[in-house]
Structure 1
Amino acid sequence: MSSSSRASDGPRTWLALLAVCLAAAAMPLTFTGTAVALPSIGRALGGSPVAIAWVTNAFMLTFGSTLMAAGALADSYGRKRIFLAGVGSFAVVSFALVFATDILVFDLLRAAQGFAAAAAFSGGMAALAQAFEGPARLRAFSIVGTSFGVGLSLGPVASGLMIEALGWRSIFLAVVVFAVLAFIFGWYALKESRDPASRGLDWGGALTFTAALGLFTYGILLAPERGWSDGMVLGLLAGALVFLLAFVVTERAVSRPMLDLSLFAYPRFVGVQLLAAAPAYGFVVLLVLLPGRFIGVEGMGEAAAGTLMIALSAPLLILPIVAGLLTRWLRPATICGAGLLISAAGLLWLSQIQVGAPVLALALPMLVIGTGISFPWGLMDGLAVSVVPKERAGMATGIFSTTRVAGEGVALAVVSAILSMLVADGLKGSAIPSTIATSAQRLAAGDLGAAGNALQGIDRAVLTSLYSNAFSNLLLLLTAITLLTALVVFVFLRTNAHDVSEARVESAA
């Protein structure tokens, strides 16, 4: 047995894995927990529909847009150092959120929380790639993926119970506990490592990419309120395009880019990135939209809504591990594509369930969606690391995680805008034009009471029916997107494993 293999089996190495898993569980907990708390946060802190939307989008935007930069920093300055800095900051900012009394301050803290999460995740995953070898590395990454599933599964119900018992601010205290434990275990067990060939952070790439993603997300969030032809919306989207082009030019010019664009010439690499974005439209957006529907429109309490969300996320506790075992007999493309097809079937089923239906009628299609998405979920992280040399593990996890998290943030903004537009379209002819945009945003966010107050003369039952139809049409669109993604994954992941790494080694030689 090699020394690296022995290191992978040591108790200290597995304690390092526990540290990263605790951090990994805290990140989705702060996402799904906040989604359940969003109605309570809105009532307590106030703010416009756009400001409330930034409660979730600020975290996703900064998390997704800085993951590649954090991965580069981890490779350059030390993976353990960046992990500890990230998870420590994550704990401090999460504690500060408990005391926020203004929606603007709250949104800014959520953005800071995203920055910290990016450092913790990129540093931790890159450190694990050095600590584990061969099959042990695949198992380790699968366990981290399962930890995300634990955070997603337990987040809604735990947050719902805490909100009803202790208030919405208590959910951030739970996140602090996870982060502090992750810091303690990581400080003790993680070993410091760097990429000897690293040349520091690609500042030009980091800044242009973050600016492009931020302007695009802001433009999408403003569009339902101002309209797509509004000068500010068009300016933001145009600015995003300019910064995206600047990012591409920058990455092609530097010798050691944050994102190696030549990797996109390989079908397997492209397939892995598309696979990373696949759950965003068919699963992650539902983690935010469904609690809003259940609490604000269906009239459920936070605990009841959180408990119902288990039907969607509970399969992530077990099935990602099953997916890893199935690779002994089936190709990853087959497992991932089949999972997406199952998820699409669940989305189609859920689209037929109207507001006011029995809980079981909602839970069954949600369970199908969660079951389907669990199969690619269990394979994504391991596939991501397989497409680049080990020494660029920070870049690999950064690219993959950026695609996944940034894709989720963009998906959330886009899907929320689409739902708002569908609601606004239903209000035309029955409401004063000047009140439609804001009322549609309130209703799309699940704030039926505020929408009803702004639309005097429209019966609450009519608004509920209008919302229900818009939500069903949105689910049909998500079904189509998931089906298309499944087809693309089947095609792009057919190539042999490690084709990207092998091609890059050959070209280097």
Structure 2
Amino acid sequence: MILMTRTGPAGRWLVLLSVCLAAMTMPLSFTGPAVALSRIAADLGGSPIELNWVTNAFMLTFGAGLMAAGALADNHGRKRIFIAGLVTYILAALGATLAPDIVWFDIFRALQGIGGAAAFAGGASALAQEFDGQSRLRAFSFLGTSFGIGLAFGPIASGLLIDAFGWRAIFLLVAMLAVAAAALGMRTVTESRDPDATGLDWAGAGTFTTALAALTFGVLQAPQNGWADPLVMALLGMAAVCFAAFVLVERRVRRPMLDLTLFRFPRFVGVQFLAAAPAYAFVVLLVLLPIRFIGIEGMSEIEAGQLMICLSGPLLILPLLAGQLARRIAPATICGVGLLIAAAGVVWLSRVSAADSALVAPLVLIGVGIALPWGLMDGLAVSVVPKERAGMAVGIFNTTRVASEGVALAIVMAALSGFTATQLGAQGLASSAEAAAAAAQLLVTGNVAGTMRHLPVVDGSALIHAYETAFDRLLVVLATITVLTAIVVFLGLRRGSVAEQDVAPVPACQEG
């Protein structure tokens, strides 16, 4: 039997409030350190690759841990994993404020990602047990909106906190909100688990986590060492071997962490592409744009935060409206059109100057495009598997989403570094390819002064022009990837799914 006693209507909405409050802190943990990167570097030091891990350590462990956390929630109880994850998340956030150097800081960031994965997977799978049908879609729309609140107010809140109290205040705010979520969750969330669970698939969890870690580390190391470097090649080779081993393991175990047979269903594949879609048109910009605005363009943290609201502000409202639109318009259409709008905004952004007023409209357009599918994502994810395996569905979907974001960020940082090095060489600003690559590594972290010391004959305006040219080229690449993803999502979501054959689908998601 499923260990579950349904709460009353009022209690269910308190469960939703607890999970949404926890979810709201996770974008803060992602965007806040990006805004604070220059301050963190000034206080704790660190090489360019160590500073990249300020964001990637959290994203990597969060993404790699979600699928295992979802399986743990199904096996050992959703409430138990939710609370344990929040406790870990809180302690790691507090540890980051006490870190003596950048290495310890990155370690606490990785631990924070593990706690966040457990909290999110446990909380979201608990929601799937509390709500049914249309109310489930509405609940997950609120979950998407809570992410939108964190994303919308994260940059400006971080800027205000940094200006008033320093960068450590960001992590204290995150810890306080997580404590409130844990206190409410302890009182309201009802314990439940999958009655057919047979234990965690440790071999699958180990091979997948190792593969993702090796891939991300290899991509991050490549701009500094070169793609032909033995360490980089070894890391990428290890990633390929571990991914292959993961597939073999999942095909043989009786209750796999990832049921590979689900990929036979086009709608399931479409949902996974939808999970990855925001990575290149939105999430990487949450990291790259504050670095550009503050480090390259010389804006204050508050000014950068105000501009970032233009990008993420639409997530405050549109996910809920998209949930209402899904009653009349097929989700495939809403998601496909939204991604095309976002791609148009990214192209527009590549064509405007860095002046504040010129940036507002393209940033808003990107935010509108991403916000349309955002509110439907989580509801679609839990609609493609039987209800008792909701933890697996949440784990798969959010692993795809966050792992894609982490890998995309590593790839995009490497690409921006490469494009910048090419521009430095083409404009005669570096004496050799090696000097250009080393200077580009510094420049993409927003360290113009350090780059000028590395290339003493160059003035700052020439470096900024080279960076902006490379950034615009990167935006065109990101828009192209988003358009291709939109096509796959639209075609995939129009087709039938395993949920439509085996279980009753979420009403708003049964067409399209």
3-state DSSP class of the match of 1:456? Answer: coil
Q: Could you say which residue in structure 2 is the equivalent of 1:364?
A: 361
Letter in 1 for 2:365: V
Query: For each residue in 1:36-81, what CA deviation from the matched residue of structure 2 results, as whole angstroms up to 9, or x when unmatched?
Result: 0111111111111000000000000000001010000001101000
Letter in 2 for 1:45: L
Offset of residue 132 of structure 1: 1.2
Q: Could you say which residue in structure 2 is the equivalent of 1:336?
A: 335
Query: For each residue in 1:389-445, what CA deviation from the matched residue of structure 2 results, as whole angstroms up to 9, or x when unmatched?
Result: 000000000000000000000000000000000001112243133432221011112
Q: Could you say which residue in structure 1 is the equivalent of 2:313?
A: 314
Distance 1:134 1:294, change over 3 A: same
Q: Could you say which residue in structure 1 is the equivalent of 2:510?
A: none
Of 358, 382, 402, which aligns to 1:385? Answer: 382
- The CA distance in 1 between the partners of 2:384 and 2:137, in whole Å, is 13
Percent sequence identity over matched residues? Answer: 59
- The CA distance in 2 between the partners of 1:313 and 1:502, in whole Å, is 33
Q: Could you say which residue in structure 1 is the equivalent of 2:507?
A: none
Offset of residue 9 of structure 1: 5.4
- The CA distance in 2 between the partners of 1:192 and 1:411, in whole Å, is 35
Offset of residue 504 of structure 1: 4.9
Q: Could you say which residue in structure 1 is the equivalent of 2:294?
A: 295
- The CA distance in 2 between the partners of 1:439 and 1:328, in whole Å, is 52
Distance 1:202 1:7, change over 3 A: closer
Letter in 1 for 2:458: I
- The CA distance in 1 between the partners of 2:288 and 2:403, in whole Å, is 18
The count of aligned residue pairs is: 497
Offset of residue 7 of structure 1: 5.1
Query: For each residue in 1:206-250, what CA deviation from the matched residue of structure 2 results, as whole angstroms up to 9, or x when unmatched?
Result: 000000000000000011011111111111000100000000000
Query: For each residue in 1:417-474, what CA deviation from the matched residue of structure 2 results, as whole angstroms up to 9, or x when unmatched?
Result: 0000000111224313343222101111221111111111012111010001000000
Q: Could you say which residue in structure 1 is the equivalent of 2:492?
A: 492
Q: After superposition, where does 1:277-296 map in structure 2 within 5 Å? A: 277-296=276-295
Q: Could you say which residue in structure 2 is the equivalent of 1:458?
A: 458
Q: After superposition, where does 1:109-120 map in structure 2 within 5 Å? A: 109-120=108-119
Superposition misfits of 4+ residues, deviation over 6 angstroms: none
Q: TM-score, normalised by structure 2?
A: 0.95
Work out whether residues 7 and 132 of structure 1, in 8 Å CA contact, stay in contact via their aligned partners in 2. no
Q: Could you say which residue in structure 2 is the equivalent of 1:400?
A: 397
Q: Could you say which residue in structure 1 is the equivalent of 2:449?
A: 449
Offset of residue 88 of structure 1: 1.2
- The CA distance in 1 between the partners of 2:24 and 2:372, in whole Å, is 19
Query: For each residue in 1:96-133, what CA deviation from the matched residue of structure 2 results, as whole angstroms up to 9, or x when unmatched?
Result: 11111210000000000000000000000111111112
- The CA distance in 2 between the partners of 1:468 and 1:171, in whole Å, is 29
1:480 aligns with 2:480: yes
- The CA distance in 1 between the partners of 2:203 and 2:6, in whole Å, is 38
Q: Could you say which residue in structure 2 is the equivalent of 1:3?
A: none
Q: Could you say which residue in structure 1 is the equivalent of 2:268?
A: 269
Offset of residue 502 of structure 1: 3.9
Work out whether residues 350 and 362 of structure 1, in 8 Å CA contact, stay in contact via their aligned partners in 2. yes
Offset of residue 10 of structure 1: 2.1
User: Mind listing any 5+ residue stretches in structure 1 that lack a counterpart?
Assistant: 1-5
Query: For each residue in 1:153-204, what CA deviation from the matched residue of structure 2 results, as whole angstroms up to 9, or x when unmatched?
Result: 0100000010011000110000011100010000000000111100110000
Work out whether residues 194 and 389 of structure 2, in 8 Å CA contact, stay in contact via their aligned partners in 1. yes
1:21 aligns with 2:20: yes
Work out whether residues 137 and 376 of structure 2, in 8 Å CA contact, stay in contact via their aligned partners in 1. no
User: Mind listing any 5+ residue stretches in structure 2 that lack a counterpart?
Assistant: 505-512
Letter in 2 for 1:442: L
Work out whether residues 8 and 133 of structure 1, in 8 Å CA contact, stay in contact via their aligned partners in 2. no
Q: After superposition, where does 1:119-268 map in structure 2 within 5 Å? A: 119-268=118-267
Work out whether residues 86 and 119 of structure 1, in 8 Å CA contact, stay in contact via their aligned partners in 2. yes
Query: For each residue in 1:268-298, what CA deviation from the matched residue of structure 2 results, as whole angstroms up to 9, or x when unmatched?
Result: 0000000000000000000000000000011
Q: Pairwise CA RMSD of aligned residues?
A: 1.3
Q: Could you say which residue in structure 2 is the equivalent of 1:73?
A: 72
Query: For each residue in 1:351-395, what CA deviation from the matched residue of structure 2 results, as whole angstroms up to 9, or x when unmatched?
Result: 0123xx320101110000001000111110000000000000000
Q: Could you say which residue in structure 1 is the equivalent of 2:437?
A: 437
Offset of residue 8 of structure 1: 6.6
Q: Could you say which residue in structure 2 is the equivalent of 1:45?
A: 44
Letter in 2 for 1:373: I
- The CA distance in 1 between the partners of 2:352 and 2:449, in whole Å, is 22
Work out whether residues 75 and 193 of structure 2, in 8 Å CA contact, stay in contact via their aligned partners in 1. yes
- The CA distance in 2 between the partners of 1:379 and 1:165, in whole Å, is 37
Letter in 2 for 1:175: V
